[in-house]
Every structure is written in C-alpha cells, then in structure tokens.
Structure 1
Amino acid sequence: MVECVSANDLDFERCYRAVATRDARFDGQFVTAVRTTGIYCRPSCPAITPKRANVTFLPTAAAAQQHGFRACRRCLPDAAPGSPLWNTRADLASRAMRLIGDGVIERGGVPALADALGYSQRQLTRVLTNELGAGPLALARAHRAHTARLLIQTTRLPMSDIAFAAGFASIRQFNDTVREVFAVSPTTLRDESRRRDGDTLPATNGLLTLRLPYREPLDKSWLEWFLSAHTVPGLELWENGVYTRSLRTPHGHTTIRLSIQPGHVRATLSLQDMRDLAPTVARVRHFLDLDADPIGIDEAMAAGMAGNAVHVGDPGDATALPAGIRVPGCLDGPELLLRTMIGQQISVAAANTHTARLVQSLGESIAGPIPHLFPTAETVAERGSEVLTGPGRRIDAIVGAAKALATGDLVLHSGRTAGDLRRDLLALDGVGPWTADYVSMRLLADPDVLLHSDLVVRRGAGLLDIDLADTARWSPWRSYLSMHLWKHALAHPSEANRRTLQ
C-alpha cells in the first residue's frame, strides 16, 4: 500500500525512496518536481535520479504546473494510472477530483462543480488549493492538457479539432497551454511522438483506439467473468474476450470496445462528439477499477487472512486467492440502480433477461454493433410498468426509483458522500441494505463496503472460515474482500452448497 502519499503532507523520505527505485506502483499518486530542470516526472521515470536537494514532491500535475514546472516528455506523467486516493478517501478533494475527471467544469464551470458538491465556490477553491496544491480551474486545465496530449499523439486530427475536443475555449488558449505544460508546440509534440512510436492512425468518424494503463497485477479472469456474466443482449456484447456496449455521454453517445491486455486495457471508442473523450475514458477507468493499488490491497488481504490458512496471490498454491482482484465500478449511475433493482432476489441470468426486455422495448435505437441505449429514467418512470414483469411490488419500486431520478429527488454521481447516498437509497421503497451497499460500492468506487448479507459472499466466507461479523482487520478494503469471497464461492459451487446445507 502506498503510505507516502497524503494529499497535503507528502512524506519526503518514502517518496524519494520510490523515485530512487523507480517504483511504478507510485505512478499517478504524486509527481516529482525537479527545480534545476523545471520538469516534473512520474516516480518511475527512467531518467537519472535527481539529487535530494533539487526535488520537491507534489500531489498532482496541476500543482506542479501551478509552480511553473513542465511535464517530462520522456515519462509522460499524465499518462500514468490515476491515484487510488480518490477512491480510498471520501473527503471533498477526492470527490471533486472524480467530478473534474468526468468533465463537470468543462460543461458547467466551477459553479456546477460547487453545486454538485454542495459547497460555495470560495470554500471549494480554498480546500482544493490546500489539499491538492491547485484550485478547480487549474485542476481542470491540467485535465484538458492531458486530453489534448492524448489526441495530439494518438490521432491525426487537426489541431483545431483537438482544441475543441479537449475543452479549450480557443486555439490560442490550447497552444499556450500545451507550450506551458510540455515546453513545445502541439506540432512538435506530435512529431516527437511519431518519431518515437511510429505514425498514428487517423480518427475516422470519431473512432479512437487507446491504451489505458493499470497497475499490475490484475485478476483478468475475474473481470472477464463479471463482464460476460452480466452482459445484457441488445445493450452489451461479450465476444472473444472483447466487451462492447454503447452509453450516453454528455454530448450524445459513445460505443466502447474493451479488451484486457498485459499492463493496459485496449479501448476503442466510437465518439459522436470528441468532447466526450475525457469523460468516457474516466468512466471506463472507473468501470474496470484501473486506478487501484493492487499490491497494497493484496498485502492487506494476506494480513487479514493470517490464521485462515489462505494465501493471496501465491501461484504455487491452487487454493490461494488470486492477486489483483478488482471491484467493478459503473458507467452510468441511474442504469446501475435500476439494473440492480431488477436483479434483486433473482439469478444473474434472469436479471439479464428482464433487463434485455426493458432495453428492447424502451431503449433508444442507435446505429452500430449495439442496437440500443439503456432507457432513460424518464422513460422507465413513464412506461416501465407496461414492460416490466414480476411481482407488482418490485415493479412499483423500480418505477418509483425511476421517478425519483427523473424529478431530481435522487441524484446519482460519483461526487456524493457514501453516507448521504446510502441514506437516499434506503429512503426508496423496495431498496434494502444490500442494494444500497452494492450501488454505493460500485458508483462511488468505495473500497470498504462488505456485502455481508449477500448469499454468495456468505458461502465464500463459510468456505474460508471467515466470520463476517468480525472483518475490521480488512478495513478499508472490505469491498475487495467481498469480491474475493464472491469469486471463491463461484469457483467452488459444490463445496459451498455442501457447507450451506450443513
């Protein structure tokens, strides 16, 4: 687990040790600013380790840019996996970072961000500057620079189109920002990339292919099982290790194709509007939990399992729990809630069938490999009772939740606090503790939710002799414990059934 990174008090010795050993686990969790060169790098940068007297450690790229440092064009610090702090922490700064990543400032400015978080603009700016070294506008500017760099180096799009897609107000602002952050013009940045990596592929009708890095290890089998088992016909497709679906984005919709590769996820995005690139990438990273710190989590899992004769990540032990398990997030909050409610007290396969019927009847038809988008909350509120089948009470509960979403009485976004979200979910008819916990875990990427009432989780706990009433030693990683127990029970169904009967 990364202990050296605190948003407002970085431990110099631990951070310098990470830089001296070029420890890639720390990439994205802080940046190293070198005063003698005016450059900031990721911890694993292959350049010669700078002298102690010449470095300072900052929590974000935006903070480095605020202090006048330029991004290293060799290690590309903005291309590292994101910080897991935004998930493990639940304070204002971390919640703001999630929403900035989703493009809230680009769409509505700082007032929209402040309103979503329930703070005044002045208070929000003060907290972010104190915690992250930069205010909301500077953080959004760094995010735009990252998006611009991504498009410059991976596409042949005209620079004017890139400026628009990255959220800049003008070509001049785009050019000035790229020069300030990378110390070269956009054209030079593209030429350097071509010499280093070869020519780029043209963006055709908004089609882009990107490499989304993650920290290894990653339990590929678990994520692939989760994606394939929950695939809804007409909305999603799982074929030959590739997950495909379409989703609504702020300026239209996007079709995504994802496949897990060593060290990265290959993501092909078909965008209606290039402005949706950054929010789509942020949602995919959240969906697959790509910013997790798997080594730290596995160490905590192993320590918690001590005394249970179970190892984590031991390749020589067939009974060991896998290393690098992830907690799947979500691509759309309202869809997650409605699908979860549809699936209550029925099998995953049955839930997929019921959801497919709803999508086919009420989902918006689109062109491409995926014929429908998930229906809007407004549509489900108006016509859901005509399509949904099953107990009347469950149908009423689903339609009621859709009405709350449609009217704004219930707001689902990743910037909410876990306590407030859980309270609002439990206030809905037909939503119990399991549903509230499951939705909170996936929507907020909350790492510390134990699904103690889940039948499969309880079976997994029985197999491993774990007392679910005594799980404090796994905090703050109990969501990952839930996934381990879930997977273990599914991998040993006959044994789980036998123990359940006893």
Structure 2
Amino acid sequence: MHDDVERCVRAALSKDARFDGWFFGAVVTTGIYCRPSCPVAPPKVENMRFFPSAAAAQSAGFRACKRCRPDASPGSPEWNGRADVVARAMRMIADGVVDRDGVPGLAAKLGYSTRHIERQLLAELGAGPLALARAQRAQTARLLIETSTLPMADVAFAAGFASIRMFNETVREVFALTPTQLRNRAACGRPAAAAPGALPLRLPFRAPLCPGNLFGRLAATAVPRVEEWRDGAYRRTLRLPRGHGIATLRPLPDHIDCRLSLTDLRDLSTAISRCRRLLDLDADPIAVDDLLRGDPVLTPIVDKDPGRRVPRTVDPYELAVRAVLGQRVSTVTARIRAARLVAAHGEPITDPAGGLTHLFPDPVALASLDPAALALPQARRTTLTELIAALAAGEIDLSVGGDWQRARARLSALPGLGPWTVETIAMRALGDPDAFVPTDPGIRAAARELGLPVTPAALTHRAATWRPWRAYAVQYLWATDDHSALPG
C-alpha cells in the first residue's frame, strides 16, 4: 500500500487508525516517522515519505515518533493473510528465527538462497532480514526497558543484541533517547510486575474486536493443566525455544492486557509473537467484515458482533494432535482425551499464580507412546500415531513459515485425516484465513438455519463469495454456538 501515495496521504491526513501497521509515514524536515493515526499536526504533503515497514523507515535514517510510538502499532495483516515466501519470511522473523539462526537459517527453512530472500524482502519491504530483525529487537528492548527493572545489560542480551554497544546505539538511533532516558520517561506509569520475571504488556489490535468469540472458544476448549480461565483472563503454558513460559491474556476495550512469565527473557519477542498469533491480533476486521457484509445472509450476523477473530494456537503441532483427538466427539470428550495425554507425557512446570502444571507434550515426547494405552478406537489410534510419527520426523512442516498447500497435501496423505481435520489444522495451526470446514456439524446447522446449502459441495460453492476470508465466515456461522460468550 505504501506505493499508493495518494491513498497514504488521505489516511495520514484523516488520522485513520485502520491503517496503523499497514504503512509508516515519515517527515523529511523532522527526521521522524509515525503511524498514520499520529495525533500531531500533519506536515506538508511534499514533506511526507511513506514506507512499508518500520525497519525501512529506520534504514532510511528516520527515528520513531515519541508520541504515537509507531514501532508498537499492530503488525501488518498482510503477513498472516498471504502464503508466499515474503509473508512466510515475515512470520518467521517475528517468531525470532533470524535472532536464533541468522539469515542463512531463515533462508534454509524457506528453501531458498540467502541472496534470494534478501532481494525479495528488500524489494517489497524496503529492508532486508537483518534490518527487520533489528527493528524487532529495538521494540523488544523498549518493552523491557519500560516494563521491567532489569539492568540494562540484561535487557540488551534478552532483546537479542550481541553487545551492549550495539544495544545502546540502536536504541539511540531508533528512539532518539538513551536507554536510561526511555526508562525514566516510563517510570511514572509503569505497572508493577506480578512476580520476578513476569512482564506486563499491552498488545494492540485494530478495532473492532469481539472478545466473546475469541476468548469464549479458547476457554471452552481449554485443556486442563495446560490452559485455564481464571479471574477474567485466559492463561496457558508456552513451549519456547530457550525454555518455557506462562501467558495471561485479558481482553480490555482498547488492548489485550498480557502478563508473561518466562524462564528465559530471550524468548520475549517470540512469546509476544505467538500470543498475537493465537488471538489473531494483526487481522484487519474492517476489510474482513466489509467483504462478508456483501452477502445479505451474513450481514445481520456481522452487524450484531463485528470484529470476530479466528482463535489460533501458540503451538501448531499441539493443535494438530488435538484436532485428531477431537474428531467426531464432543468438546468435553476432546478435552478429556487431551488432558490424559498431558498427564501421561507432558513436561511438569510450576505456576505460583494459578493452576497450570504442564507443557503440552511435543511430537518427540509423544513418539514413544504405547497406542494400546490410548482410549481411542483402533482407527483413530492409527491416525494419531501416524501423525505424531510424521511430525516428529519433520515430514510435515506446520511452523509459521511452512507452506500451507504442501502441509495440506501431506496431512491429507495420512490415514484417517479427512477434510474436516485438515482444514481445522489449516485454519488454526497454519493460519490460513481462507480455510473452510463445510462438513463441520455446527456449520451445517447454521447453514440450515440461515437457508444456505447444507451439502459440503454446494456450501463450498456458495461460500466462494466469502473468499479470501472464509475462516472468518466460519466464526460468524458459529455465532450461535455455546463458545461465543465469555465465561463468567
């Protein structure tokens, strides 16, 4: 969008918050870049420049506005709605792959050369993978500086910087303040952490957001020991690259209150990225709802509770296992089956603030389970063990940078994995916004009530006008389901 100058100018002059994260505006006379909704008086149009990413603005020599904090705007919805190599790379950078494995590691995971990845990102985003990762490190550093009392040396290494000097230089360049000045500015309004290592954060999103749909479904399907609804917040354990953590997520009118307790603070940016992905916070609800309102059948449902998101996952491999456990059974039965698996094979943790006790077992831990011990029909045992074996061997890539269609094909080749399971995994684990489950009993019941076709082929044909947002249409069709309200 950044190359449509006229549209960007209109958005900036009207202070339109819907475009925050889509592009960034910079002012050549001040050397500052902002989000489109920045409240300051707009500059002259001839002094405006537009960039597709914060990293591109920083690379061009602009520093972040101290008032609108453009580095903290919601992420671009493009990267969660596309399946091409640039979008896959952006999701992997957000998940911390460059910080952990470098640009060669990113390129290897994507199956391309380092030069090709750098060229593609530079052409579309105005910044290469190192600059994009640097911008993310700067934002992580700012969060730690402003929300914790950690010594600056600990902040630097937790944010992913290789040296104190690089940390100091980056913070000064990006924010035009030293780390100490940033901390002093934030000291008055800093919320206290609940416990050592627990960080209070604000996760922004584009309004509107329907929390009943989002948190209601997560709470209704929560697996005991791994997830819980407590004191108005959804809580769950996180398996992270360098350790584990616990996320506490509470919906508020203008942001998600997030409390992260981590065993290794270097996992902070990854944990934030996974929480945002879980709650689909980078979605563009205006674009989604406007398209779905084009169908008169969906118009009243969308108007009743706009801003529905697709509840996703923090661990795609966990979601795949749970999807198989939930085949052809009730939500309660699926939770019981998953809880038994956790009790037998999950990794124990401690949770002083609640009742979480385990991490969900990863495919490697599950690879040694005895199929006879599973309280499942024989065919379902075979499906589950075949899936676990394929995931443990790396034969199916469900990671944030995985290829959606290749993953679908490999899942479909496994015995017992039909369209419902494959599309559920595509919707919630892979994050495909166009995934569709026409065979789901809830969808068929809603279709019958609304006068839509109920056979899978006919409903799929009818849903063509909902593309590329069929996964969101599913959330609206589920609107009368018992998961659509926040628990008490």
TM-score (norm 1): 0.92
Q: Quick one: which of 98, 105, 122 aligns to 1:105?
A: 98
> Please, which moves more after superposition, 261-270 or 386-395?
386-395
Aligned to 1:96: 89
Paired position in structure 2 for 1:496: none
CA contact (8 A) 2:301 2:479 kept: no
- Aligned residue in 2 for 1:280: 271
Structure 1 residue aligned with 2:456 = none
- The correspondence of residues 248-327 of structure 1 with structure 2, limited to 5 A, is 248-304=239-295, 306=296, 308=297, 310-314=299-303, 320=304, 322-327=305-310
CA 1:202–1:452: 2 relative to 1, 3 Å? closer
Q: How many residue pairs get matched? A: 475
CA distance in 2, matches of 1:309, 1:188: 51
Candidates 441, 454, 467, aligned match of 1:475? 467
1:444, CA displacement in angstroms? 2.7
Q: Helix, strand or coil: the match of 1:259? A: strand
Mapped to 1, the partners of 2:370 and 2:320 lie a distance apart of: 14
- 2:159 maps to which of 150, 166, 171: 166
Measured after TM superposition, the shift of residue 489 of structure 1 is: 5.1
CA contact (8 A) 2:79 2:88 kept: yes
CA-CA distance at 1:378 after TM superposition: 1.7
Asked if the contact 1:233/1:352 (under 8 Å) is kept, the reply is yes
Q: Residue type matched to 2:348 in 1?
A: S
Tell me if 1:457 matches 2:443. yes
The aligned residue for residue 61 of structure 1 is 54
User: Which has the larger displacement, 38-47 or 89-98?
Assistant: 89-98
- Of 418, 430, 435, the match for 2:404: 418
* Structure 2 alignment gaps of length 5 or more: 454-458
Find the counterpart in structure 1 of residue 237 from structure 2.
246
- Distance in 2, matches of 1:408 and 1:309, equals 40
1:399 alignment counterpart: 385
Q: Deviations over 1:399-433 (max 9, x none)?
A: 12111111222222011222111111112222111
Q: Which range is displaced more, 482-491 or 134-143?
A: 482-491
Match in the other structure for 1:119? 112
The CA deviation at 1:359 is 0.5
Q: Distance in 1 between matches of 2:481 and 2:190?
A: 47
Q: Which amino acid aligns with 1:466?
A: L
Percent of counterpart pairs with the same letter? 49
Conservation of the 8 A alpha-carbon contact between 1:298 and 1:312: no
**Aligned AA for 1:104?**
V
Q: Distance in 2 between matches of 1:164 and 1:476?
A: 40
Counterpart pick for 1:187 among 172, 180, 184: 180
- 8 Å CA contact retained: 2:193, 2:200: no
Query: SS of the residue aligned with 2:442?
Result: helix
Distance 1:198 1:205 in 2: 19
**For 2:213 and 2:193, how far apart are their aligned partners in 1?**
34
CA distance in 1, matches of 2:361, 2:394: 17
- Report the secondary structure of 2:293's partner residue: helix
Structure 1 residues without counterparts, runs of 5 or longer? 315-319, 493-502
Contact residue 55 and residue 131 of structure 2 kept, 8 A: yes
Which residue number in structure 1 is paired with residue 328 of structure 2? 345
Give the Cα separation in 1 of the matches to 2:481 and 2:132: 43
Per-residue CA deviation, residues 247-279 of structure 1 (Å, 9 max, x unaligned), is 210011001111111111111111000001100
- What is the SS of the residue equivalent to 2:37? coil
- Match for 2:184: what amino acid? D
Work out the CA distance in 2 between the residues paired with 1:135 and 1:151: 25
- SS of 1:262 mapped into structure 2: coil
Mapped contact 2:217–2:483 kept (Cα < 8 A): no
Match of 2:339 in 1: 356
Aligned match of 1:484 in 476, 485, 488? 476
* 1:408 and 2:386 are equivalent in the alignment: no
**Which one scores higher on RCO, CA 8 angstroms, separation ≥ 6?**
2
The amino acid that maps onto 2:107 is A
Partner of 1:390: 376
Distance 1:262 1:310 in 2: 24
1:233 equivalent in structure 2: 224
Helix, strand or coil: the match of 1:303? coil
Tell me if structure 1 keeps the 8 A contact 2:32–2:62: yes
- 8 Å Cα contact 1:81-1:290 kept in structure 2: yes
